[in-house]
Amino acid sequence: MREYISSKSNEKIKTVRKLADKKYRIEYGLFVIEGHKLIGEYLGNGFFPLRFFVTEEAERKYDTIINLSPKSDICVIPRDLYLHISSEQAPQGILAVCQIPHRDNALCEGSAIILESIRDSGNLGTVIRTASALGIKNVLISSDCADLYNAKTLRASMGAIFRTNICISDDLNESVRELKKCGRRIFAAMPSRDAVDIRTVALEKNDCIVVGNEGNGITERLAECCNACVTIPMVAGAESLNASIAASVLMWELVRGLDNA
């Protein structure tokens, strides 16, 4: 169905505005994707939006993308109304309201990056994007990490959220213990006296690496659940790495180790 909406008081416009808040994303089971690239990634991974919101110019410009989802409703809105619902600094005039995908929370075969209490949306999205780029299929996150469907997380992931197996754990300690019971080795990335240089570890295809909170790192309880601690060697006096950068280095070492095995 195609309709023209011009009022801020329209219920569909109000709903889009509400979806900027995690509380309403959870309540409605919906989230918003903005921009033709992210929407293209969403469609390319077999998902279809419930509804498009577009300006008349964007409807013409991105008709190929819109036509990939013929059952989606199309709401055409004036430019000023689009700016009212947009979270982008340079809006393209197209966004989509989508259902939050069901996730079965089971890791598939292969290595994984595990994230404990990563609170910055940009860091979370960047780690997911890097994992996807390096061929790491699994990302396991604690439930107190940043919201996957926050606009900043989605932008930072560049659509990798839709093609990565992301599992959310309410008890990461227990999840790690269960993974160990299944024969996986779990390495905690943290600067401790017992930590081993990540470059010296003979990594295996189902190994997992844990990265902790931006300010506090990995909790002691979680570290105790892991097989061993690993660290990234740095020159004396260097500041600790940003969480997403550290995770990227560790994932590279994981993939490089497997290639050299």
Encode pLDDT of 18-35 as tens digits: 999 999 999 999 999 999
Amino acid (one-letter) located at 109: E
Q: Is the domain of 95 the same as that of 132?
A: no
Q: Which of 99, 127, 142 represents a domain boundary (last residue)?
A: 99
Give the Å distances, CA to CA, from 15 to 8, 25, 163: 11, 10, 26
Q: What is the pTM of this model?
A: 0.92
The kind and range of the H/E element at 172 are helix 172-181
Whether 187 and 165 share a structural domain:
yes
Claim to verify: residue 51 and residue 168 sit in the same structural domain = no
Confidence of residue 261 (pLDDT cuts 50, 70, 90): low
Q: Which residues does residue 208 pair with via DSSP β-bridges, in sequence order?
A: 112, 186
Together in a domain, 126 and 180? yes
Q: What's the domain range around 66? A: 2-99
Closest CA to 56 of 26, 38, 81: 81
3-state helix, strand, coil in the chain (%, to 5): 40, 20, 40
Average pLDDT rounded to a whole number, residues 76-92: 94
Report helix, strand or coil for 232.
coil
Q: Do 116 and 244 belong to one domain?
A: yes
Within 8 A by CB and 6+ apart from 41, the residues are: 158, 159, 160, 162, 163
DSSP state of 161: G
CATH of the domain at 38: 3.30.1330.30
Segment (H or E) for 32: strand 30-34
- CATH code at position 120: 3.40.1280.10
CA distance 120 to 133: 20
In percent, the amount of the chain with pLDDT more than 70 equals 97
The Cα 140–Cα 137 span in angstroms is: 10
**Mean pLDDT on 197-215:** 92
As a whole number, the mean pLDDT across the chain is 93
What local confidence, expressed as pLDDT, does residue 103 receive? 82
Does 82 share its domain with 117? Answer: no
DSSP 3-state of 192: coil
pLDDT of residue 260: 57
Single residue among 76, 99, 122 that ends a domain in this structure? 99
Listed range (46-50, 79-83, 106-110) with the worst mean pLDDT: 106-110
Residues 209 and 153 in one domain: yes
Q: Number of structural domains, the chain?
A: 2
pLDDT digits (tens, 9 = 90+) for 167-180: 999 999 999 999 99
Percent of the chain with pLDDT over 90: 84
